[in-house]
Amino acid sequence: MAKKRRVPPIPEELPPCDGPKLSLFEHHDSKIEWLERLGNGEESTRDGYVFRVKIKRAEYAIKVFKFYDPMESEYFWEPLIGEVSLHTAAYYTDPFYAECRAYGRIREATKRRPKISDAATRCYGFLFLSEKDQKYLEEKKCDLGLAKVDLAYQRQTAGGVRPRAIVKSLASSDHGVTELDLKKILDRILVLNRERIYNMDIRLDNIKDGKLVDFGSSWTEPHILLHALDAGTAYSYRTTDRVMFDEMLEDENIPNPKNIVAIHSMTLRPRYN
Ligand SMILES: Nc1ncnc2c1ncn2[C@@H]1O[C@H](COP(=O)(O)OP(=O)(O)OP(=O)(O)O)[C@@H](O)[C@H]1O
Ligand SMILES: [Mg+2]
């Protein structure tokens, strides 16, 4: 008789390392009705694919993440943290886990700092996609890169070869970054930073209705890579969001009559390489 492959149990929360975690989406077993693809970013830089979906009669946005091989970023993490398991390296470098950790912290922090829930598009948890959902993505030519990862490693990860996805509220297509709201949006970024979440990708494309929607590049403390950096470099990582906010206003020519500035150049310390 053919031996059946053991299916690993679905974790209740991820990732299993120090720090914040995201919970499994409550309707993770329910049928997903795929409605349309959202966003139009460049294929090569993308963490995955975002869709408008319906689950149990409610609409959401689902971000489906590409598979991630931590060996691809070994050049970056190995000099800092040395020989750690590939799973540990992934918890701190894979965009899927970056979102889990950031949204996990937002959930924890909401009790002591209710304002933080306005800073990001609401997140409802993670799930793993079924075979039927995978077929739909294949039909839509969404390549999740399974052929590029080491299958032996992938099978040992949470979810194995099932694609990982994060469920969020559906936002409008408007970034909402206007003259009137600049101070409010900067305050939201600062609230996240105060909770030791660094988004690291502050751009108009990643803001919807004045809230951050993309945490795929974020670092949330405790973070083994951030803690392994020298003090000067760690400082520049922690100030990245503020630098990017100012650059965004300038690059996008957003009117700023009140001269809202996130970081004054005098307070910037040089990057140490
Ligand atoms: N919750 C949401 N509601 C509405 N639109 C969304 C939502 N999440 C993402 N999008 C759309 O999908 C795009 C891509 O989402 P996101 O930035 O999270 O993914 P990404 O893989 O980092 O893509 P990119 O490389 O284009 O930034 C967003 O710029 C936005 O237009
Ligand atoms: Mg993005």
* Cα three-residue angle 260-234-17, rounded to 5 degrees: 110
pTM of the model: 0.94
| Segment 227-240 mean pLDDT | 98
Ligand 1 atom nearest to 121, measured from its CA: 1
* pLDDT of 57 above 70: yes
Q: Does residue 143 sit in helix, strand or coil?
A: coil
Which of the ligands is closest to the CA of residue 61? 1
Q: Which of 45, 46, 50 to mutate to test the pocket of ligand 1 (most atoms within 8 A of CB)?
A: 50
Q: Which of 65, 202, 205, 218 to mutate to test the pocket of ligand 1 (most atoms within 8 A of CB)?
A: 205
* Domain 13-267, architecture per CATH: Orthogonal Bundle (1.10)
CA atoms within 13 A on the CB side of 264: 3
Which residues have CB under 8 Å from 55's CB, separation 6+? 27, 30, 31, 32, 33, 167
The one-letter code for the residue type at 94 is: D
Domain residue ranges in the chain: 13-267
Q: What is the pLDDT of residues 116-152, one digit of tens each?
A: 999 999 999 999 999 999 999 999 999 999 999 999 9
